């Protein structure tokens, strides 16, 4: 498959925006609200993405986002009421469900009909204002009424749908970037620190897993799940059915190994890797539930890999390994009488390890250069 030279850069930039959007949405759902600056950034990202994906043709959606932007700039009584009711603050934007609870159930047309002046026919021309407007724009009154027969709650729901639809494009976009890297490497990409570098590091790591480790890793994909109660995200997940057991393989990626030990954004009292491991139970249970239709009775975390693009010192490696394996042992102990099983060992794979295992094929040479570039930029 031949890809235009600008195409992979567009995908990388798009993925960086999608990932930033996802993080903001998850944070908003967990807290129940966004600060005004965060909400403004969400709309800015969504507008950029819709403009990008539609080529500027999604005019109605972009107009709806303009309306949302104005609401954030000047929250009205309904928004403030929802914020005060839930959080005793009126300088935030509550999540969409909370806003929808405060919105009237009647449609826009029903509100208009409620105004006496709009129900009366205008003297001389003997038409209602609705009929006059319909004439002006060249449609029938019936069509205009249909356009106005929209509830504000429906518009809020539409925004939620747009957000979700955008997030669902992440995995297909990441798969396209993987295909490009296999074919051409990353030499033509402009790489800067930040979200784009993280996206690229994870994508190159998945290609490395499929090329070098093969086996179940050939089908590894990023996984993201979000609901009102739980959310989790893993950089590479591969699944195999072995008799009545689902074998789950997971890899997590950081540009620097020490980042695994940073405070988790959602649970600041524990490290990022401990929080990730703690949420594995949700991934395993969800996977088992899905594969029960194929005869699965148990789910097992078979392998957990931590990949990084630097060479950490011995102390960092030992601390990371001890912390991760302690968390795994706690999970194994807690679920020992359940259908969920957990390996209690991890493997740390560094830049040096990744390069050593590469052969001399064209794809592996491209990976070797990609790993070196990511390591240098980070």
Render 327-347 in DSSP notation, one character per residue: HHHHHHHHTTTSSEEE----E
Residue 213 or residue 31, greater confidence:
213
What confidence category does residue 123 fall into, taking pLDDT thresholds of 50, 70 and 90?
Answer: low
- Give the rounded distance of the alpha carbon of 252 from its chain centre: 16
| Better pLDDT: 370 or 188 | 370
Q: Label each residue of 26-82 as H, E or C.
A: HHHHHHCEEEHHHHHHHHHHHHHHHHHHHCCCCHHHHHHHHHHHHHHHCCCHHHHHH
Averaged pLDDT for residues 350-365:
95
Q: When comparing pLDDT for 114 and 218, which is higher?
A: 218
Cα 75 to Cα 57: distance, rounded to the nearest angstrom: 28
Which of 46, 43, 32 minimizes the C-alpha distance to 68? 43
Burial of 313 per CB tally in 10 Å (0-12, 13-18, 19+) = exposed
Cα 34 to chain centroid, rounded: 16
In this predicted structure, what is the pLDDT of residue 187?
A: 80
* Higher-confidence position of 365 and 118: 365
- Pairing label, strands 298-308, 245-254: parallel
Q: Determine the pLDDT at residue 3.
A: 46
In the predicted structure, residue 57 carries a pLDDT above the cut 50: yes
Query: Which is more confident, 146 or 179?
Result: 179
Q: What is the largest CA-CA distance in the chain?
A: 91
> Is pLDDT of 103 > 70?
no
The yes-or-no verdict on residue 107 having pLDDT over 70 is: no
Is pLDDT at 183 greater than 50 in this prediction?
yes
Task: Over range 298-314, report the average pLDDT.
Answer: 95
Predicted local distance difference test score (pLDDT) of residue 164:
86
User: Which pLDDT does position 133 carry in this prediction?
Assistant: 60
Tokens 């190994």 -> residue:
257
Evaluate if residue 317 carries a pLDDT over 70: yes
Q: Which pLDDT does position 189 carry in this prediction?
A: 87
3 by Cβ neighbours in 10 Å (0-12 / 13-18 / 19+) ranks as middle
Q: Summarize the confidence of residues 180-196 as an average pLDDT.
A: 87
CB 40 within 8 A of CB 24: no
Taking residues 223-249, report their average pLDDT.
89
Instruction: Tell me if residue 248 falls in helix, strand or coil.
Output: strand
Q: Which two tokens stand for residue 130?
A: 């609705």
pLDDT for residue 1: 39
Question: Tokens 């390996």, residue?
Answer: 343
In this prediction, residues 63-91 reach a mean pLDDT of 86
Average of per-residue pLDDT across 227-231: 74
Looking at residue 210, what DSSP letter applies? I
pLDDT at site 211: 96
Mean local confidence (pLDDT), 272-291: 93
**DSSP-derived 3-state class of residue 263:** strand
Reported confidence tier of residue 87, pLDDT bands at 50, 70, 90: very high
What's the pLDDT score for residue 4?
A: 46
Read off the pLDDT of each residue in 68-86 and give the average, rounded to a whole number. 86
Rounded to 5°, the CA angle 38-42-43 comes to 120
Please report, rounded to a whole number, the percentage of residues in the chain having pLDDT higher than 90. Answer: 55
Average pLDDT, the chain: 86
For residue 5, is pLDDT > 50?
no
Instruction: Say how far residue 49 (Cα) sits from the centre of its chain.
Output: 13
- Write down the residue that tokens 């594969």 correspond to: 291
* 185: Cβ contacts below 8 Å, ≥ 6 apart: 366, 367, 369, 370
In this predicted structure, what is the pLDDT of residue 358? 94
Angle, helix 36-54 to helix 152-167, in steps of 10 degrees: 70
The encoded tokens of residue 227 equal: 């609901």
Strands 33-35 and 340-342, sheet pairing = unpaired
Strands (E), 86-161: 92-94
- With a cut of 80, say whether residue 83 has pLDDT above it: yes
Nearest CA-CA partner of 257 in 272, 245, 276, 277? 272
Residue 213 has pLDDT above 60, yes or no: yes
Give pLDDT, residue 95: 87
| Res 143: pLDDT | 63
Place of tokens 């992440």: 170
- The pLDDT of 121-150, averaged and rounded, is 63
Task: Mention every residue, 6+ apart, whose C-beta is less than 8 A from residue 62.
Answer: 47, 50, 51, 56
* 274-284: average pLDDT: 93
Total-model pTM: 0.83
């Amino acid at each position: 498959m031949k890809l235009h030279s600008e195409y992979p850069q567009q995908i990388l930039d798009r993925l960086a925006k999608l990932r930033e959007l996802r993080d903001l949405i998850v944070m908003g759902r967990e807290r129940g609200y966004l600060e005004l600056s965060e909400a403004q950034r969400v709309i800015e990202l969504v507008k950029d993405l819709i403009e990008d994906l539609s080529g500027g043709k999604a005019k109605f959606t972009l107009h709806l986002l303009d309306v949302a932007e104005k609401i954030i700039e000047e929250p009205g009584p309904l928004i403030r009421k929802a914020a005060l009711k839930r959080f005793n603050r009126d300088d935030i934007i509550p999540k969409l469900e909370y806003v929808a609870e405060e919105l009237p159930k009647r449609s826009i047309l029903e509100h208009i009909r409620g105004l006496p002046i709009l129900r009366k026919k205008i003297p001389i021309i003997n038409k209602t204002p609705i009929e006059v407007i319909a004439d002006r724009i060249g449609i029938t009154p019936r069509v205009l009424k249909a356009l106005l027969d929209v509830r504000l709650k429906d518009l809020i729901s539409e925004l939620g749908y747009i957000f979700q639809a955008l997030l669902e494009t992440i995995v297909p976009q990441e798969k396209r970037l993987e295909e490009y890297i296999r074919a051409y490497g990353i030499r033509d990409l402009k790489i800067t620190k930040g979200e784009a570098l993280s996206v690229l590091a994870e994508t190159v790591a998945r290609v490395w897993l499929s090329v070098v480790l093969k086996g179940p890793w050939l089908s590894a994909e990023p996984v993201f799940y979000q609901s009102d109660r739980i959310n989790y995200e893993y950089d590479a997940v591969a699944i195999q059915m072995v008799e009545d057991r689902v074998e789950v393989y997971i890899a997590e990626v950081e540009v620097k190994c020490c980042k695994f030990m940073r405070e988790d954004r959602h649970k600041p009292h524990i490290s990022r890797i401990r929080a990730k491991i703690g949420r594995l139970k949700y991934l395993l249970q969800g996977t088992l539930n899905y594969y029960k239709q194929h005869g699965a009775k148990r789910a097992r975390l078979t392998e957990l890999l931590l990949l990084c693009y630097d060479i950490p010192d011995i102390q960092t490696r030992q601390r990371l390994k001890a912390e991760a394996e302690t968390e795994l042992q706690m999970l194994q102990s807690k679920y020992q009488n359940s259908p969920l099983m957990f390996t209690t060992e991890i493997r740390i794979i560094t830049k040096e390890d990744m390069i050593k295992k590469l052969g001399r094929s064209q794809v592996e040479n491209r990976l070797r250069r990609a790993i070196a570039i990511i390591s240098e930029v980070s």
